[in-house]
């Protein structure tokens, strides 16, 4: 039987693992399966990415180029843009983007296109796993009907499951291999085979009863974070008005050994998941005639944070008798979190658009993002990262810390820049020149 053959191939590590989408989720997943002894095939529609990988070059900071080059040369990793090679993989893992459209509804075009590519070549004995974060019901209601066009029967001829990605770029403690994997199948056989596959590559598998439970699990994780971040963002605005330092409040509160988990304010939400996933849940609720007022309010607060930061910046410039128009402002950090090169959904892009709209003379500096990337939802001029020399900092009217990279020399930034707007409490240990710092 097809499931028995696949199970044996997984157990003896002769199964080929294909990953569709070689970005911040797909490439670390490839690494986990290679290190577990599997041959891997990486699929991506971007031929430029494929060519770089074939040349042994990584475009993700925490995946070393030397490792890519070694795996490609040994044949453990085959990058390709040719979807006709999908039948070569015994397991096909889907790691494609799931953005929102202009009305902030789910945009499943990449999942649909990928499912159609798989359906066109689906063969008996293959396992398909969706990893892209999405709303509960996507695997069964969207992917399954497309794969059914192949004429094969799920649970008998081929197998289908959902296992949400849990990548945390830049976190040295957790990689794809040592983060527990939640797995849910559209049927018990599919769930068992998917669990068996991931058990070979990750520290722990958490099987759940259905793919819908696995989908809802990821939405819950990120909605939980979004709501709590919104709460501290709202408290930050209140405490600023009261002259209370929110950062000091959080440090005091987190000394409680139970009942409190610290969350931190910022200039807005970034990353592919937290700014997007709660809106999937809100959309699904509306579809079923319900409202998610708590979630939507959190989204409104977090989305409004860039405007709050710019208002604080304008107030600080006004104190010095300077308008925003014509002022030289450098945004420090365009990655969405510290010490990574991932710009997805970074609030820095919104900050930059607002600054340009207000007439600021804009620049940016980010040691992890040397050139401003083109973004789907943002339209900014081409720029390169500025070196934070004493002369450059002194020429500014304001330095805006949007991402608290470790590589930034905050003492030098405060020493030489005439005004520093700090949205991340990055200057907390700076002693000299504190009168120039404004929290935002």
pLDDT digits (tens, 9 = 90+) for 402-431: 999 999 999 999 999 999 999 999 999 999
Among 88-97, 134-143, 170-179, 337-346, where is mean pLDDT lowest? 170-179
Two tokens, residue 438? 């404004």
Two tokens, residue 339? 């010490």
Place of tokens 């974060």: 133
- How sure is the predictor about 100, in pLDDT bands with cuts at 50, 70 and 90? confident
Q: pLDDT of 197-219, one tens digit each?
A: 999 999 999 999 999 999 999 99
Two tokens, residue 235? 């408290």
Q: Do domains 2-209 and 233-439 have the same CATH topology?
A: yes
- How sure is the predictor about 188, in pLDDT bands with cuts at 50, 70 and 90? very high
| CA 7, 8, 12, 18 torsion-angle sign | negative
Catalytic residue among 71, 211, 217, 273: 273
Annotation marks residue 273 as catalytic: yes
What pTM, to 2 d.p., does this model score?
Answer: 0.91
Q: Which helix (H) or strand (E) holds 10?
A: helix 2-11
- Give SS3 for 249: helix
Q: pLDDT of 216-254, one tens digit each?
A: 999 999 999 999 999 999 999 999 999 999 999 999 999
Q: pLDDT of 23-62, one tens digit each?
A: 989 999 999 999 999 999 999 999 999 999 999 999 998 8
- Give SS3 for 183: strand
pLDDT at residue 1, as a whole number: 85
Q: How far apart, in whole angstroms, are the C-alpha atoms of residue 347 and residue 131?
A: 25
Is the domain spanning 2-209 CATH 3.30.70.2740? The answer is no
- Better-scored residue on pLDDT, 360 or 1: 360
Class of domain 233-439: alpha beta
Cβ-Cβ contacts under 8 Å for 70 (sequence gap 6 or more): 56
pLDDT at residue 426, as a whole number: 98
Query: Which has the closest alpha carbon to 34: 16, 47, 22?
Result: 16
pLDDT at residue 339, as a whole number: 94
| Number of helical (H) and strand (E) elements in the chain, helices listed first | 15, 13
Cβ-Cβ contacts under 8 Å for 369 (sequence gap 6 or more): 334, 335, 341, 343, 385
Enumerate the domain spans of the chain: 2-209, 233-439
pLDDT at residue 431, as a whole number: 94
Q: pLDDT of 261-290, one tens digit each?
A: 999 999 998 877 777 888 888 888 898 999
Compute the average pLDDT of residues 91-116: 90
CA angle 214, 217, 221 (to 5 degrees): 150
Place of tokens 């097809």: 2
- Give SS3 for 154: strand
Query: Which has the closest alpha carbon to 58: 338, 341, 425?
Result: 341
């Amino acid at each position: 039987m097809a499931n028995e053959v696949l199970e044996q191939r997984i157990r003896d590590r002769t199964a080929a693992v294909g990953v569709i989408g070689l970005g911040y989720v797909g490439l670390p997943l490839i690494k986990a399966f290679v290190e577990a002894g599997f041959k891997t095939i990486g699929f991506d529609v971007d031929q430029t990415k494929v060519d770089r990988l074939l040349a042994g070059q990584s475009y993700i900071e925490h995946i070393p180029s030397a490792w890519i080059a070694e795996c490609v040369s040994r044949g453990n990793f085959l990058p390709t843009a040719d979807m006709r090679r999908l039948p070569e993989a015994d397991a096909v893992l889907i790691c494609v983007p799931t953005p929102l459209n202009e009305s902030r509804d789910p945009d499943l075009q990449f999942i649909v296109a990928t499912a159609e590519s798989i359906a066109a070549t689906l063969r008996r004995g293959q396992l398909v796993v969706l990893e892209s974060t999405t709303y509960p019901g996507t695997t069964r209601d969207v992917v399954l009907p497309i794969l059914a066009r192949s004429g094969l029967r799920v649970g008998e001829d081929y197998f289908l499951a959902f296992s949400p990605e849990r990548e945390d770029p830049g976190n040295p403690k957790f990689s794809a291999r040592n983060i527990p994997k939640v797995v849910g199948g559209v049927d018990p056989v599919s769930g068992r085979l998917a669990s068996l596959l991931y058990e070979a590559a990750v520290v722990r598998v958490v099987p759940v009863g259905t793919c819908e439970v696995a989908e809802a699990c990821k939405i819950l994780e990120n909605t939980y974070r979004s709501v709590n971040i919104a709460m501290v963002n709202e408290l930050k605005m209140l405490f600023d008005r009261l002259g209370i330092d929110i950062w000091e409040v959080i440090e005091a509160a987190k000394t409680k050994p139970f009942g409190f988990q610290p969350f931190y304010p910022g200039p807005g939400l970034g990353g592919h998941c937290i700014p997007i996933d709660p809106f999937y849940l809100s959309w699904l609720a509306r579809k079923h005639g319900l409202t998610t007022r708590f979630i939507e309010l959190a989204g409104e607060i977090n989305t409004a944070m860039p405007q709050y930061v710019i208002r604080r910046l304008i107030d600080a410039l006004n104190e010095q008798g300077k308008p925003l128009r014509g002022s030289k402002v450098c945004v420090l950090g365009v990655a969405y979190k510290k010490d990574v090169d991932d710009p997805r959904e970074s609030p820095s892009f919104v900050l930059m658009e607002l600054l340009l709209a207000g007439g600021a003379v804009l620049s940016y500096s980010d040691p992890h993002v040397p050139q401003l990337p083109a973004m789907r939802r943002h339209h900014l001029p081409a720029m390169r990262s500025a070196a934070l020399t004493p002369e450059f900092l002194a020429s500014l009217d304001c330095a805006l810390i949007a991402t608290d990279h470790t590589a930034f020399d905050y003492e030098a930034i405060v020493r030489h820049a005439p005004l520093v707007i700090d949205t991340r409490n990055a200057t907390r240990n700076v002693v000299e020149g504190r009168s120039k710092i404004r929290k935002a």
